[in-house]
Structure 1
Amino acid sequence: MALLRQAGTDLADVEVKAAAGGLPKSVRDTLSAFSNDRGGTLILGLEEEHDFRPAPGFDAARIRDALAAACNDDMHPPVRAEIEIVSLDHALVVTAEVGELDPRFKPCYVAARGEYNGSFTRGGDGDRRLTDFEIHLLHTNRGQPDDDRQAVAEATLADLDPTSCQLLVARVRQRQPGAFAGLPEDQVLRRLNVIRDDVDGVTRPTLGGLLALGAYPQQFFPQLNVTFVVYPGISTEDVPVGGPRFLDNRSFDGPIPVMVDEVVTAVLRNTSVRSFVDGSGRTDVYDYPAEVVREAVANALLHRDYSPYSRGTPVQITLYADRLVVANPGGLFGAITEDDLGGEGVTSTRNPVLAKLLQDVRLPDTGRMVCENRASGIPTMLRELRRAGSPLPEFHSRITRFKVIMPRHSLLDDETMAWIADLGQPGLTPTQHLALAEMHAGRPVTNGTMRNLGLEAHRATTELSDLVNRGIAVRIGERRHARYLLAPDVAPMPPAHEPTGQLGDDAEELIWQALADGAELSRRDLEARTGLSYMKVLRALKNLEITGRVTATAPARSPHRRYRRVSSAP
């Protein structure tokens, strides 16, 4: 509740409704959205417009029963929420913890409105109807897609690189002689699904074969490539006066091994070397270790969606002054969640033919394979980042898109260590220091985050619970959906009493500049323009409103709500 009141609006995974006159119809949209997304918490009986105070006339027992009935009778499949009546500010409210639905059964939708009109997901602090394409992806997630196994119309065997094919055949004959040693090359390629007959009986390369071993796959699929853009600032709009809009802007074609190799070279060419202190002394590393970039790019190309709906979208790599972003079409496949990433043996791929091939296809001019196909890619990234003293990457999975964000700075820099020391909390473990540094940077921490820092699951829970017991962190959500943030009175908030014209922190400065020239922008517009996180934008806007520099153009719940500078403010 303190976080809600601090933000002044709902959170991405917390929805609040007054429900004083009965159960709102929109509750069903939220149940669908939470089920199709990462889960969330529904709170009924509070008025957002009155600082989330108890709603007069709210009947907790009646609403609890109505909500339980809606979960069971109005949703398909039924939503199994944990519904409780709890006491708050001397009143009773109803809470519901809604878990993410198993991918095999998505989408969850409002039964009376049908699958294509009644399926929702979360968008910021509200619910958004799923598009037909998103529903299609959820359907394909129930089984095993075979897009990479399909023959490519118009392609011929001459479109495969003969040297790459010969090296592949030689390797699998040596590694699996029982399956391949006595077969001619064309039979080996057929058994590996590099080639197959189309409906007319003509032998053609498959999509997976062309991407792994083709001379130039973009002849048939121009957008199945990688784009790379380097911006001078921390957002697409952060351009120095008179300076270039891009520092680098390129696209990379060819088969996957070539694209991975060239992208890594381009990223390293556009980053600098920094030093950090480890157990052996001072070590110099790239801002983004080459091994980390290689694994991120290879994963994006291997696990992206290759269905016809997504073949017009490339893998996109964007380098800002403070972070590297690798994004690909298609979210996580199968039963894997963001919190599972980095766990030992955690793997699931929508492109099994491509995964099988890339474990035996070499990167250019090296003896190493593109990937091991052993669920080792993300653990390797985490290990290398820990070794370099860098923050762990952020993973963002949505139905149509998966994104990896790698911050540029050192996780435990001097400023962060001084801040932790000022907390006055003796006896913190090294991993608790790292967890607090993540929270200090505005990133929520989960049990999975702690496991990625090297802890066993039970120890991760113990250390996070200790931070809560110390009063320096709070937990949002329950069980596997729990995430931990800095307690509101610990989080470094900009002072509300600064002199007029003095902006309290960089977030306020970025938003102040984005609203120049009379611009009226939504919260999402400000996130896009500044590159700031959801919570940082909310906090900065709240402080700017308190100090009278920014005003909102509509009530908090209005879809037309925008923010603009106050004309009298300097």
Structure 2
Amino acid sequence: MDRQQLTQLMGLLRRSGSDLCDVEVKAAAGGLPKSLRDTLSAFSNDRGGTVILGLEEKDGFRPAPGFDAARIASALASACNDELQPPVRTEIEIVEFEDALVVVAEISELDPRFKPCFVSARGEYNGSFTRGGDGDRRLTDFEIHLLHTNRGQPEDDRQPIAGATLADLDSTEVQVLAARVRQRQPRAFANLDQPHILRRLNVVAEDTDGVVRPTLGGLLALGIYPQQFFPQLNATLVAYPGTSAQDVPANGPRFLDNRSFDGPIPVIVDEVVAAVLRNTSVRSFVDGSGRTDVYDYPAEVVREVVANALLHRDYSTYSRGTPVQITLYADRLVVANPGGLFGAVTEDDLGGEGVTSSRNPVLAKLLQDIRLPETGRMVCENRASGIPTMLRELRRAGSPPPEFHNRITRFKVVLPRHALLDDATTAWIAGLGQLGLTTSQHLALAEMRTGRTVTNGTMRNLGLEAHRATSELSDLVNRGIAVRVGERRHARYVLAPEVSDPAPIRIDGTATELVWDALANGIELSRRDLEQRTGLSHMKVLRALKVLEETGRVTPTALGSSPLRRYRRNDPGLW
């Protein structure tokens, strides 16, 4: 990180008033803080991050008096190498900033084969951390279990299910499957009878007593009612009238729809798509062929995201009590499943050509040959084509690309409802006075305006090649309208602090109003609490709190560096 990049980043931090999720700033004037080992572990187990030492957060991120950059850089290198397991490999630099020297270290995400990274003196189960908000949180036993299983290939979907029999499989769909694989793969299946086909496809397997029973994958793909054995291996849908669960109109309904979907995966996918479309409206957009009417969320997109969630979710015993959750708000559709991304795939890889890694290979193999009840199409192609299809359909409809949120125990896809380049956004971009911006740069700025960060992967999802994506993002930084946070693979881009603060997009209320409403009735909430209650992004909550603090409507309960920092409403007489 050079001096200019550090200056821009500090401007962003001063504007937000505290650390960002993947940036940790410490004064370190008295030595290397002990808590920094937790942060090194957290960044390594998460998406990486940036450590900056020598600046005092309580003093507006000014240089800390008495800071010895050379000594701290050496201590940091020793901690990375000797006090964490596996050792943290990082580039440590001493950078000049405001007539002082600071230490900057870029921490890369650890290869999934070696996670978790933990503080050696505290052991794996007490010394493994991840990031939460702008702080560090100890990993739970379940999270560590998932990291361990991510090192190899889980076999949950090929295990025979106690108590299940062949009568629990849909005989019609079994016959259709057998006929299809005989035709599509004659060398492997043409000369086999149906029982042997089911064995070869791992639809059935022998249990420890030698009894042939359906496997978990077989039940989920071909079962008559898998929920007889696993009641929560289904999907749920809740539709709210506003932009959060708490945003309920006066005398209005709490839910617009609230239901669960049982049956095998093909039935669940079809029923969820129909339910989502019933709860959304049709909008128009103009493309090369003229005016086109589409649902807020194209059916093909909903089908892909729900099928992916059911296919790639964690089916281990830890997660069998958790369904796939579909939540429909006024401004977005959220689909969440237990278990984060599997294997070496990252959020930035999603949508790339040939990018795939299946936690449930038996299920993935089956669903490419099993039909959806309504359309007769296969549930999935198993060709890494699901997300590219989703991105293509969203671009065609003029919608923003999806947001992917990956955590160890949970993967979430957010589909925004609004058009990406609406009239207000187009006028705002024009007001920046930047000539020669490309269409994709306009789209990137529109994304940043909503409070979302943009990465190289975001630009690829907008249709650019990787090298072009990097070039266009670098151009926005050089123009002074964007700031890069982080380096290399975990680099992300946000609006520069010099750019006039954009107005939040209004659906059923601004971000400021949502945060204000969440603090009603004397409640005190942290920023992370506010993100969860409002459904707003990290940057949107920061901006809303800044506005509320500047206008005297909200007061923090502790200093920005305190883990006890909460926010509460002020008496109206004070503002």
Quickly name the TM-score band, shorter chain normalised.
over 0.9
Matched, 1:525 2:534: no
Taking the TM superposition and a 5 Å limit, the aligned residue runs for 1:325-364 are 325-364=334-373
Match of 2:512?
Answer: 508
- 2:401 is the counterpart of 1:397: no
Alignment partners' CA distance in 2, 1:519 and 1:75: 39
| SS of residue matched to 1:403 | strand
- Separation (CA, whole Å) in 2 of partners of 1:28 and 1:521: 27
Distance (Å, rounded) in 2 between the aligned partners of 1:450 and 1:514: 33
CA distance in 1, matches of 2:317, 2:533: 31
Partner of 1:449: 458
Residue 270 of structure 2 corresponds to residue 261 of structure 1: yes
> Which structure 1 residue ranges, 5 or more long, are not aligned?
496-504
CA distance in 1, matches of 2:459, 2:78: 37
Tell me how far apart the structure 1 counterparts of residues 21 and 517 of structure 2 sit (CA, whole Å). Answer: 25
1:544 aligned residue: 548
The residue aligned with 2:281 is 272
- In the alignment, is residue 220 of structure 1 matched against residue 229 of structure 2? yes
Give the Cα separation in 1 of the matches to 2:374 and 2:18.
Answer: 54
Deviation of 1:424 (Å): 1.1
Match in the other structure for 2:245: 236
- Alignment partners' CA distance in 2, 1:185 and 1:507: 58
Describe the SS at the equivalent of 1:267. Answer: helix
Give the 4+ runs in structure 1 shifted more than 6 A.
none
For residue 453 of structure 1, report the CA deviation from its aligned partner. Answer: 1.1
**Residue number in structure 2 paired with 1:131:** 140
Equivalents in 1 of 2:236, 2:130: separation in Å? 28
CA distance in 1, matches of 2:233, 2:245: 23
**In 2, Cα distance between equivalents of 1:350 and 1:362:** 21
Three-state SS of the structure 2 residue aligned to 1:229 is: strand
Deviations 1:14-59 (CA, angstroms, capped at 9, x unpaired): 0011100000111110000000000000001111111011110000
The answer on whether the counterparts of 1:331 and 1:401 sit within 8 Å (CA) in structure 2 is: yes
Q: Distance in 1 between matches of 2:311 and 2:550?
A: 48
- What is the SS of the residue equivalent to 1:395? strand
Deviation at 1:3, TM superposition (A): 1.1
- Aligned mate of 2:215, from 184, 192, 206: 206
The one-character-per-residue Cα deviations of 1:507-528 (angstroms, maximum 9, x if unpaired) are 2222222222222222222222
Mapped to 1, the partners of 2:287 and 2:465 lie a distance apart of 23
Please state if 1:54 is matched with 2:58.
Answer: no
Return the alpha-carbon distance in structure 1 between the equivalents of residues 175 and 433 of structure 2.
64
The answer to whether the 8 Å contact 2:237/2:257 transfers is yes
Structure 2 portions without partners, runs of 5+: 1-9
How far apart, in 1, do the equivalents of 2:134 and 2:70 lie? 26
Q: How much does 1:426 deviate?
A: 1.2
Q: 1:107 aligns with which of 111, 116, 135?
A: 116
Cα distance in structure 2, aligned partners of 1:554 and 1:480: 34
Contact 2:202–2:218 (Cα < 8 Å) also in 1: yes
Residue 307 of structure 1 corresponds to which residue in structure 2? 316
Deviation at 1:67, TM superposition (A): 0.2
Deviations 1:194-238 (A, max 9, x none): 000000000000000000000000000000000000000000100
Q: Note the 1:423-462 alignment, pairs <5 A.
A: 423-462=432-471
Cα distance in 2, alignment partners of residues 303 and 160 from structure 1? 22
SS for the counterpart of 2:542 is: helix
CA–CA distance in 2 between the matches of 1:517 and 1:80?
A: 48
Q: Does structure 2 conserve the Cα–Cα contact (< 8 Å) formed by 1:472 and 1:486?
A: yes
Q: What is the CA-CA distance between 1:473 and the residue it aligns to? A: 0.8
State the shift of 1:349 in Å.
0.5
Is 1:247 aligned with 2:251?
A: no
C-alpha distance in 2 between matches for 1:302 and 1:517: 42
Over the matched positions of the two proteins, sequence identity in percent amounts to 81
2:135–2:563 Cα contact (<8 Å) kept:
no
Work out the CA distance in 2 between the residues paired with 1:512 and 1:143: 46
Aligned to 1:184: 193
